């Protein structure tokens, strides 16, 4: 069986890296295609995990719209499919790359494996366009690799056959374990050295990220206002690796710039971000991946969205949905810093770090 893995963003690359490693270790024939949807951030992950793409579409353009990006991916991916002639394409998550690459494969009669299938908010506008992407991918997929039984049940309710659904855990936990091992083995780079010199060890660290399109404008502004107020406390410091999207950067720097307790930095490499999560007392984010990773590090997350498809983390107590509300964000931040949660003995609902090997074993059995 010939397998093609196709991805284009940093989160996809992080979650695909353990799968690539497992395919290699199991001596399966595979090739890697990247679209370059997030060029700079993608390359950092490829370097860290020593992944060399067989095909690089290099599609990133300045302030690119979803329609133009989709058209480019569909056209260029079709060329790669004709050249690589895979029996199975693996896509991950809910990005434009994942949906359009799956569509291109479907049109060519190529089987599709969807890693991280079954996540749902049931609100097509939150997250946008990710919720639509993941639902659309599910209509054309052959193998559904779901992180949890919640995701499995979502698919069953949509009429997906049970024998096509496989619960594997989320491969982001595999990637996190790989990164932790490297860091504990002494891995360091100039960026990490700079971060270690930047932070005050005597202050509690709040780590912030924000990139969802649904948050552009008013939502992001509310979050930033809340952060600026909270930064007046003398016992905290905030570090915010600001996404490269111009709409995000303009608003963040306008509200949070030039505050002594707030460090606005460029996006950091994956190992640096894992290190920052390890140092943080609280994480504030709209990222799905962080909601999955934080439980392994026993860190609470305030989710700056109105809905989350990672309900398992909320139920386990790791995540709290605060929306794009300055008032709610401030209230929950006060609670967490005054009464830090104790996660001793609480397991990460997203897996134990063996997801990639489980996916590969399933693929091998299907090909037997």
Active site residue 243: yes
Given the residues 39, 134, 243, 263, the one annotated as active site: 243
- The confidence score (pLDDT) of residue 46 equals 94
- Would residue 347 count as lying in a domain? no
- The confidence score (pLDDT) of residue 36 equals 82
- Would residue 344 count as lying in a domain? no
Active site residue 213: yes
Given the residues 116, 222, 292, 306, the one annotated as active site: 116
3-state secondary structure of 359: helix
Active site residue 174: no
- Would residue 156 count as lying in a domain? yes
Given the residues 114, 120, 134, 211, the one annotated as active site: 211
> Is the confidence at residue 196, as pLDDT, over 90?
yes
311 vs 308: CA distance, rounded Å: 6
Indicate if 146 and 249 belong to the same structural domain.
no
> Is the confidence at residue 368, as pLDDT, over 70?
no
- Would residue 343 count as lying in a domain? no
- The confidence score (pLDDT) of residue 288 equals 87
DSSP assignment string, 70-89: HHHHHHHHHHHHHHH--SEE
Indicate if 159 and 241 belong to the same structural domain.
no
Confidence of residue 41 (pLDDT cuts 50, 70, 90): confident
Task: List strand residue ranges (DSSP E) for the chain, in order.
Answer: 2-7, 29-34, 55-56, 88-92, 111-115, 143-146, 165-167, 204-208, 236-241, 262-265, 282-285, 301-303, 319-321
3-state helix, strand, coil in the chain (%, to 5): 50, 15, 35
Mean pLDDT of 7-32: 96
Indicate if 130 and 252 belong to the same structural domain.
no
Q: Bridge partners of 90?
A: 5, 113
Given the residues 94, 214, 311, 326, the one annotated as active site: 94
Given the residues 213, 233, 249, 259, the one annotated as active site: 213
Residue-number span of the structural domain to which 126 is assigned: 2-169+353-367
Task: Count up the domains in the chain and report the number.
Answer: 2
Indicate if 298 and 266 belong to the same structural domain.
yes
3-state secondary structure of 208: strand
Q: Which helix (H) or strand (E) holds 358?
A: helix 355-367
Q: Cα-Cα-Cα-Cα dihedral of 47, 53, 59, 64, to 10°?
A: -40
136-195 tens-digit pLDDT:
999 999 999 999 999 999 999 999 999 999 999 999 999 999 999 999 999 999 999 999
50-108 tens-digit pLDDT:
999 999 998 877 777 899 999 999 999 999 999 999 999 999 999 999 999 999 999 99
Tell which residue, 94, 108, 110, 98, has the closest CA to residue 142. Answer: 110
Can you give the CATH number for the domain in which 269 is found? 3.40.50.2000
Active site residue 352: no
- Would residue 348 count as lying in a domain? no
Mean pLDDT of 34-48: 85
Q: Cα-Cα-Cα-Cα dihedral of 312, 318, 321, 326, to 10°?
A: -170
Indicate if 219 and 75 belong to the same structural domain.
no
323-360 tens-digit pLDDT:
988 999 999 999 999 999 999 999 999 999 999 999 99
């Amino acid at each position: 069986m010939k397998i093609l893995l196709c991805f284009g963003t940093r989160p996809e690359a992080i979650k695909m890296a353990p799968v690539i490693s497992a395919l290699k270790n199991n001596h399966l024939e595979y090739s890697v295609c990247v679209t370059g949807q997030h060029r700079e951030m993608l390359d950092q992950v490829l370097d860290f995990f020593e992944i060399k793409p067989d095909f690089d579409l290099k599609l990133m353009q300045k302030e690119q719209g979803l329609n133009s990006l989709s058209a480019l991916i569909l056209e260029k991916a079709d060329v790669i499919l004709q050249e690589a002639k895979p029996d199975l394409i693996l896509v991950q998550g809910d990005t434009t790359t994942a949906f359009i690459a799956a569509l291109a494969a479907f049109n060519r009669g190529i089987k599709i494996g969807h890693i991280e299938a079954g996540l749902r908010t049931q609100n097509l506008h939150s997250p946008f366009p990710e919720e639509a992407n993941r639902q659309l991918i599910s209509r054309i997929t052959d193998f559904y690799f779901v992180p949890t039984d919640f995701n499995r049940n979502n698919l069953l309710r949509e009429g997906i056959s049970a024998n096509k659904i496989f619960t594997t855990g989320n491969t982001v936990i595999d990637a996190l374990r790989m990164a932790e091992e490297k860091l504990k083995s002494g891995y360091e780079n100039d960026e990490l050295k700079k971060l270690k010199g930047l932070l005050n060890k005597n202050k509690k660290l709040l780590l912030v990220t924000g990139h969802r399109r649904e948050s552009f404008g008013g939502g992001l502004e509310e979050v930033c206002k809340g952060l600026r107020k909270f930064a007046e406390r003398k016992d905290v410091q905030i570090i915010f690796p600001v996404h490269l999207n111009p709409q995000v950067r303009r608003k963040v720097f306008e509200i949070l710039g030039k505050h002594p307790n707030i460090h606005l930095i460029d996006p950091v490499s994956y190992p640096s971000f894992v290190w920052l999560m390890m140092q943080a007392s609280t994480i504030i984010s709209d990222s799905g991946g962080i909601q999955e990773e934080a439980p392994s590090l026993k860190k609470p997350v305030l989710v700056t969205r109105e809905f989350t498809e990672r309900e398992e983390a909320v139920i386990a107590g790791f995540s709290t949905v605060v929306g794009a509300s300055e008032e709610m964000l401030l209230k929950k931040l006060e609670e967490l810093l005054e009464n830090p949660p104790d996660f001793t003995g609480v397991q990460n609902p997203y897996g134990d770090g063996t997801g990639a090997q489980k996916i590969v074993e399933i693929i091998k059995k299907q090909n037997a």
